[in-house]
Structure 1
Amino acid sequence: MSAEDLENYETDMELQLYREYKDVVNLFTYVVETERRFYLANSVDLQARSADGEVYFDVTLNDAWVWDVYRTARFVKNVRVITFKDVNVEEIAKSDELTMPRDGSLGN
């Protein structure tokens, strides 16, 4: 497999993932971003904890979808994330839904 073939494959996988995201985003209430992953979820419990003077975040998600091009099963019932980095949780505003024109144009 050439480098170009690999790049085309990765581009196709990213495009498929984006299309899946676009199809499922309306099913979820929250967007959760960690340093390693991007999630959609319907329930989020974020707890700041400390141990030995270090602060970390314990995040529990229920009814979630994981943005990961290499996962075959992106829908998960429960996810628990422990991270020492920031966690961003946003409620999805239904008026902010991401839509693309049917003809693929960007309106230019």
Structure 2
Amino acid sequence: MSAEDLENYEAELELQLYREYKDVANLFNYVVETERRFYLANNVDLKTRSADGEVFFDLTLTDAWVWDVYRTGRFVQSVRIVTFKDVNIEELNRVDDLSIPKDGLN
């Protein structure tokens, strides 16, 4: 396998992952970003902890989806993350109930 073949393969995996993300994003309430991973989750429990003068974050996500190209099972029931870096948590605006009236926007 050439370097170009490998690059094309990885690009295709990323594109498939992005398409899956678009398909499942509206099923979740939160986006969680850490220094290592990107998650979608319906429940997020964040605790700030300290030990020996170091501050770290202890997150538990339930009903989650993991952005990871090489992971075959991206849906997980529960995941625990411990990180010393910043964590970004955003609540998603779900649009499941959004509908456009038949007579237009007026």
TM-score normalised to structure 1 length:
0.86
Structure 1 residue 93 displacement after superposition: 1.3
Unaligned runs of 5+ in 2: 96-106
Cα distance, 1:94 vs. partner?
2.5
| Misfit runs of 4+, over 2 Å | none
Query: Which residue of 1 is the match for residue 8 of structure 2?
Result: 8
> How many residues of Structure 1 are paired with residues of Structure 2 in the alignment?
95
Q: Once the two structures are aligned, what percentage of the paired residues are identical? A: 78
State TM-score, norm by structure 2: 0.88
1:33-74 alpha-carbon deviations (Å, 9 max, x no partner)? 000000000000000000011000000000000000000000
1:1-108 alignment to 2 at 5 Å? 1-94=1-94
The structure that has the greater radius of gyration is: 2
RMSD: 0.7
